[in-house]
């Protein structure tokens, strides 16, 4: 007997039940509950299910950049030992992954190959090694066609960006005039490269058909919409598809939508009548999943004599495959981060035959703030103003475009607290003044902003007759701590220690959750758990003969009006409730975002130009912090991504065929431990009653936003060299370093 507690966020929630819970779990720095399973190999990832009669699939990618397949010589490999079959369903196979949250199928049809590495066949065998050997030998004949591979050469040929509800073009006032009339201005072009999420677990699916129903064990971040995409691609009812994604070894956006291995495994499993496992190789992850698109960003800022912003321009050119509407929304944070009456924020797409461009951790802000926060540093240097003083003069009282109040905005406090903790006052604003032996030392800072989002999300919470609670939702934990924080929320509201709560995630047979993406996971799925628990508290109060406000729940005991009854006794044959949250008017009546400030100290080797980050510190405000440890870890991870973005990560496409040149972790350089120094993370105390009943906001993508710019600004402070082409590798510094 379940009933549903719905909440549409049309009104603020000024008092949260989390503040009256007695269990004392909220905010605690608890370790991830599934951690021991993961570090002892007992957490079963998608590729690890022991399914009887499983056959192995090896994905075969096109070895050309653009053209039409004329023949696949399957017979030549069918006879190899252990090989079962070669499947080439050109019409059903998907060209590229789907974007996150879409209900449509991804682009289908792979005969007309659009990019190098596009998955065109799957070889099935009794062992992975046999499948791979046959896949390497499989000859795919084709007629090559002319492709569009080179952004530099083709960038003049672009189209305006429009994608879902992200505005591609925005104009207000007269920016050219503002720049012309300005006391001071900057007009600079920054570029960022393509990047890959490089999640530790490669994309993997096991497809099992039973009586016309597909179960897909897949490493996917958003099972409820992934299920719809997969069903559409296969031409079956969504009721006939179940996705199981219990543990996910990192996603960072690359597993938001279904990827080619899922459809290939499902098609092959159906044809063969056996379960099929398809795991991408590391090079395939780099070549056929999702990239963060490269950008070219023209940034303009103009100020009056008091250093107040009069104009903001942020014009981005990016790229994607033909027919894909997603564009890297580099200006998405610019809309609300910076005031100024005269504004131009545009995005154009250049059509290129490169792997799909899609969401990677903080799409928009991550690459956008690398440009805007560096350009702002340029402006501050030009007018001789400390960047924090600049913000003091420019902090907007309301959202500059919508003219609505902030839900909360503590950007300046983040900066001021960060400055004090970091020791910003000792920074010499004059660049290239500090030397430590062979190292030029500098400091930089940058703002961090990231929009907060709430997504429709549902969860069921039940209390068994033995007094244990179970949470069920198809929400995922991609290494972020969902298992832990959902348990904390339910434990707080139901008065149960964590060891009496089971959290069941990642199964589309459970109520549809928000999935993991856009930093909305904790706020959205956490609210659904909150709402289910709120309803259970009402039912428990009724059973106690009191109103919910009189009820205290702690350690499995309900207390009210001088009576104490064990939860197990109180629930009789058990209680169950479903909570469902949905966004409402608060989304538009208040501008909601989380904020932060990054501070970085770098050393630049005066001989070689090698840049090494010496220390970094971030102060963040993101509403209520549900778990101080997992929240901190999110920020550490984001800052580490920032180090990679600033200094090393560069997904290189060969301009002759669009191929990813550095398609492994040996040559695509994510930061290693030695690149990541002491990182400090602090949170401001905050509640955001406009965000959701938890009063919490997104964190996962906040830590990366602006982080790279702080490092780039520190490189400038160390050397006097402004590199506007990320990553800041030593070759871009070499000719401007002091003479040897």
Partner 1 sequence: MKSFVYEKATSPQDAVRFVGNGAKFIAGGTNLLDLMKLQIETPETLVDISRLNLDRIEDTDAGGLLIGALVPNSDLAADARVRERYEVLSRALLAGASGQLRNKATTGGNLLQRTRCYYFYDTAMACNKRVPGSGCSAIGGYTRILAVLGTSAACIATHPGDMPVAMRALDATIVTLKADGDRRRISIHDFYRLPGDTPHIETGLEPGELITHVELPPPPPGRQLYRKVRDRASYAFALVSVAGVVSVENGIIASACLAFGGLGPMPWRDTSVEALLLGHAPSDALFAQAADALLASAKGQGANDFKIPLTKRTLIASLRELTA
Minimal distance, residue 58 CB to partner 1, in Å: 11
Going residue by residue from 231 to 270, which x/- string records binding to partner 1, judged by CB under 8 A?
A: ----------------------------------------
- Please, which residues bridge with residue 258 across strands? none
CB 612 within 8 A of CB 646: no
Minimal distance, residue 666 CB to partner 1, in Å: 6
Distance CA 158, CA 493 (A): 53
Report CA-CA distances (Å) from 36 to 26, 33, 192, 217.
21, 7, 38, 22
End-to-end CA distance of the chain: 78
Minimal distance, residue 607 CB to partner 1, in Å: 4
By CB under 8 A, tell whether 671 contacts partner 1.
yes
CB 17 within 8 A of CB 537: yes
* Candidate ranges 247-255, 581-589, 669-677, 708-716; the one touching partner 1 (CB under 8 A): 669-677
Tell me which of 260, 583, 609, 698 binds partner 1, using CB under 8 A: 609
* Candidate ranges 474-482, 666-674, 690-698, 707-715; the one touching partner 1 (CB under 8 A): 666-674
Distance CA 726, CA 206 (A): 38
Is the Cβ of residue 1 or residue 740 nearer to partner 1 in the bound state?
A: 740
Closest-CA residue to 357 (of 263, 449, 253) = 253
Tell how strand 276-279 and strand 169-172 pair up: unpaired
By CB under 8 A, tell whether 57 contacts partner 1.
no
Minimal distance, residue 61 CB to partner 1, in Å: 8
Is the Cβ of residue 456 or residue 669 nearer to partner 1 in the bound state?
A: 669
By CB under 8 A, tell whether 436 contacts partner 1.
no
Minimal distance, residue 222 CB to partner 1, in Å: 31
701: annotated active-site residue? yes
Closest-CA residue to 294 (of 346, 367, 366) = 367
Half-sphere exposure of 623 (CA within 13 A, CB side): 32
Dihedral sign from CA coordinates of 511, 514, 517, 522:
negative
Tell me which of 654, 678, 685, 736 binds partner 1, using CB under 8 A: 654
Helix (H) or strand (E) holding 224: helix 223-234
Minimal distance, residue 657 CB to partner 1, in Å: 9
Compute how many other C-beta atoms are within 10 angstroms of the C-beta atom of residue 237: 11
Distance CA 440, CA 370 (A): 22
CB 258 within 8 A of CB 222: no
Number of H helices, E strands in the chain: 18, 29
Closest-CA residue to 89 (of 216, 272, 323) = 272
By CB under 8 A, tell whether 41 contacts partner 1.
no
Minimal distance, residue 612 CB to partner 1, in Å: 6
By CB under 8 A, tell whether 730 contacts partner 1.
yes
List, as one string, the DSSP characters of 690-738: TT-TT-B---TTTTTTTHHHHHHHHHHHHHS----BSS--GGGTGGGSP
By CB under 8 A, tell whether 61 contacts partner 1.
yes
* Candidate ranges 158-166, 427-435, 482-490, 602-610; the one touching partner 1 (CB under 8 A): 602-610
Minimal distance, residue 63 CB to partner 1, in Å: 4
By CB under 8 A, tell whether 659 contacts partner 1.
yes
Q: What share of the chain is helix, strand, coil (3-state, %, to 5)?
A: 30, 30, 45
Closest-CA residue to 691 (of 560, 535, 578, 584) = 584
| Residue 59, both tokens | 């994905």
By CB under 8 A, tell whether 674 contacts partner 1.
yes
By CB under 8 A, tell whether 648 contacts partner 1.
yes
Is the Cβ of residue 53 or residue 731 nearer to partner 1 in the bound state?
A: 731
By CB under 8 A, tell whether 545 contacts partner 1.
no
Is the Cβ of residue 423 or residue 655 nearer to partner 1 in the bound state?
A: 655
Is the Cβ of residue 388 or residue 730 nearer to partner 1 in the bound state?
A: 730
Size of the site for partner 1 (CB under 8 A): 42
Is the Cβ of residue 17 or residue 606 nearer to partner 1 in the bound state?
A: 606
Backbone phi and psi for residue 192, each to the nearest 5 degrees, phi listed first? -125, 145
Distance CA 477, CA 543 (A): 34
Give residue 340's region: left, alpha or beta (phi > 0; psi -120 to 50).
Answer: left
Is the Cβ of residue 329 or residue 727 nearer to partner 1 in the bound state?
A: 727
By CB under 8 A, tell whether 712 contacts partner 1.
no
Instruction: Considering only residues 65 through 84, tell me which ones interact with partner 1, judged by CB under 8 A.
Output: 81
Is the Cβ of residue 114 or residue 695 nearer to partner 1 in the bound state?
A: 114
Closest-CA residue to 93 (of 123, 122, 115, 62) = 122
CB 608 within 8 A of CB 730: yes
Instruction: Considering only residues 111 through 140, tell me which ones interact with partner 1, judged by CB under 8 A.
Output: 116-117, 129-130, 132-133, 136
By CB under 8 A, tell whether 389 contacts partner 1.
no
Compute how many other C-beta atoms are within 10 angstroms of the C-beta atom of residue 211: 5
- Please, which residues bridge with residue 160 across strands? 348
As to burial, measured by CB atoms within 10 angstroms (0-12 exposed, 13-18 middle, 19+ buried), residue 354 is buried
Tell me which of 393, 661, 685, 736 binds partner 1, using CB under 8 A: 661
Minimal distance, residue 536 CB to partner 1, in Å: 48
Tell me which of 39, 50, 156, 740 binds partner 1, using CB under 8 A: 740
By CB under 8 A, tell whether 283 contacts partner 1.
yes
* Candidate ranges 471-479, 528-536, 649-657, 708-716; the one touching partner 1 (CB under 8 A): 649-657
Tell me which of 52, 212, 437, 666 binds partner 1, using CB under 8 A: 666
Going residue by residue from 204 to 223, which x/- string records binding to partner 1, judged by CB under 8 A?
A: --------------------
Residue of 201, 287, 328, 701 marked catalytic: 701
CB 258 within 8 A of CB 119: no
Tell me which of 608, 678, 685, 736 binds partner 1, using CB under 8 A: 608
Instruction: Considering only residues 306 through 335, tell me which ones interact with partner 1, judged by CB under 8 A.
Output: none
Helix (H) or strand (E) holding 106: none
Instruction: Considering only residues 151 through 180, tell me which ones interact with partner 1, judged by CB under 8 A.
Output: none
Q: Identify the DSSP state of 449.
A: E
Distance CA 158, CA 112 (A): 22
Distance CA 290, CA 294 (A): 12
Minimal distance, residue 740 CB to partner 1, in Å: 5
Tell me which of 401, 662, 682, 725 binds partner 1, using CB under 8 A: 662
By CB under 8 A, tell whether 647 contacts partner 1.
yes
Report CA-CA distances (Å) from 561 to 467, 541, 567, 620.
21, 11, 16, 41
Is the Cβ of residue 286 or residue 327 nearer to partner 1 in the bound state?
A: 286
Minimal distance, residue 735 CB to partner 1, in Å: 7
By CB under 8 A, tell whether 63 contacts partner 1.
yes
Which residues here bind partner 1, judged by CB under 8 A?
61, 63, 81, 116-117, 129-130, 132-133, 136, 283, 438, 607-610, 612, 647-648, 652, 654, 656, 659, 661-664, 666-667, 669, 671-675, 729-731, 734-735, 737, 740
Name the residues annotated as catalytic: 701
């Amino acid at each position: 007997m379940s009933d549903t507690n719905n909440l549409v966020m049309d009104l603020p929630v000024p008092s949260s039940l989390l503040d009256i819970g007695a269990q004392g779990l909220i905010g605690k720095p608890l370790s991830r509950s599934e951690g021991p399973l993961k570090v002892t190999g007992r957490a079963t990832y998608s590729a690890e299910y022991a399914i009887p009669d499983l056959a192995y699939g090896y994905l075969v990618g096109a070895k050309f950049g653009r053209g039409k397949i004329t023949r696949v010589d399957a017979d030549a490999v069918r006879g190899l030992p252990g090989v079962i079959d070669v499947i080439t369903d050109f019409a059903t196979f998907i060209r590229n992954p789907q974007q996150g949250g879409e209900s449509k199928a991804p682009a289908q049809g792979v005969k007309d190959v659009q990019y190098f590495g596009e998955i065109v066949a799957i070889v099935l065998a009794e062992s992975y090694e046999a499948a791979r050997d046959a896949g390497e030998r499989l000859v795919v004949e084709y007629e090559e066609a002319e492709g569009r591979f080179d952004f530099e050469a083709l960038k003049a040929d672009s189209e305006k960006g429009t994608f879902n509800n992200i505005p591609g073009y925005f104009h207000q006032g007269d920016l050219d005039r503002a720049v012309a009339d300005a006391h001071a201005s900057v007009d600079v072009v920054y570029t960022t490269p393509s990047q890959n999420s490089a999640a530790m677990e490669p994309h993997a699916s096991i497809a099992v058909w039973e009586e016309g129903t597909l179960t897909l064990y897949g490493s996917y971040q958003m099972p409820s919409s992934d299920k719809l995409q997969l069903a559409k691609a296969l031409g079956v009812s969504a009721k006939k598809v179940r996705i199981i994604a219990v543990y996910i070894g990192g996603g960072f956006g690359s597993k938001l939508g279904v990827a080619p291995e899922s459809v290939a495994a499902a098609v092959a499993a159906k044809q063969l009548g056996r379960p099929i496992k398809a795991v991408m190789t590391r090079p395939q992850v780099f070549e056929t999943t999702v990239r963060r698109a490269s950008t070219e960003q023209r940034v303009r800022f103009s100020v009056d004599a008091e250093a107040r912003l009069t104009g903001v321009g942020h014009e981005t050119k990016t790229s994607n495959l033909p027919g894909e509407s997603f564009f890297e929304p580099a200006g998405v944070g610019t809309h609300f981060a910076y005031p100024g009456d005269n504004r131009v924020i545009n995005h154009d797409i250049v059509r290129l035959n490169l792997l799909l461009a899609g969401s990677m951790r903080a799409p928009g802000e991550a690459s956008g703030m690398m440009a805007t926060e560096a350009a702002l540093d340029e402006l501050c240097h030009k007018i001789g103003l400390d960047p924090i003083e600049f913000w003091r003069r420019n902090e907007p009282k309301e959202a500059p475009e919508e003219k609505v109040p902030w839900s909360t905005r503590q950007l300046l406090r983040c900066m001021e607290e960060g400055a004090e903790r970091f020791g910003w006052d000792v920074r010499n604003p004059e660049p290239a003044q500090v030397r430590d032996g062979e190292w030029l030392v500098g400091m930089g800072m940058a703002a961090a902003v990231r929009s907060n989002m709430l997504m429709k999300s549902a969860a069921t919470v039940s209390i068994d007759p033995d007094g244990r609670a179970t949470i069920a939702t198809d929400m995922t934990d991609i290494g972020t701590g969902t298992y832990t924080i959902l348990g904390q929320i339910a434990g707080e509201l139901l008065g149960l220690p964590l060891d009496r709560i089971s959290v069941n995630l990642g199964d589309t047979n459970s109520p549809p959750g928000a999935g993991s993406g856009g930093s909305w996971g904790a706020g959205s799925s956490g609210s659904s758990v909150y709402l289910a628990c709120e309803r259970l508290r009402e039912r428990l109060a009724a059973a106690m003969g009191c109103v919910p406000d009189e009820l205290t729940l702690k350690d499995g005991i309900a207390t009210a009006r001088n009576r104490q009854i064990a939860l197990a006794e109180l629930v009789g044959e058990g209680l169950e409730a479903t909570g469902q949250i949905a966004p409402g008017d608060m989304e538009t009546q208040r501008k909601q975002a989380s904020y932060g400030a990054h501070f970085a100290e770098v050393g630049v080797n005066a001989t070689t130009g090698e840049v090494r980050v010496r220390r970094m510190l971030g102060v963040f405000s993101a509403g209520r912090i549900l778990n101080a440890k997992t929240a901190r870890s999110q920020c550490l991870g984001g800052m580490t991504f920032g180090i990679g973005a600033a200094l090393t990560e560069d997904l290189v496409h060969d301009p002759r065929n669009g191929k990813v040149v550095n398609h492994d972790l040996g040559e695509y350089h994510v930061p290693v431990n030695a690149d990541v120094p002491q990182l400090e993370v602090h949170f401001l105390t905050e509640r955001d009653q406009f965000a959701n009943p938890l009063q919490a906001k997104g964190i996962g993508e906040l830590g990366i936003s602006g982080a790279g710019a702080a490092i780039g600004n520190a490189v400038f402070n160390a050397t006097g060299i402004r590199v506007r082409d990320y990553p800041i590798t030593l070759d871009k510094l070499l000719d401007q370093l002091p003479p040897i």
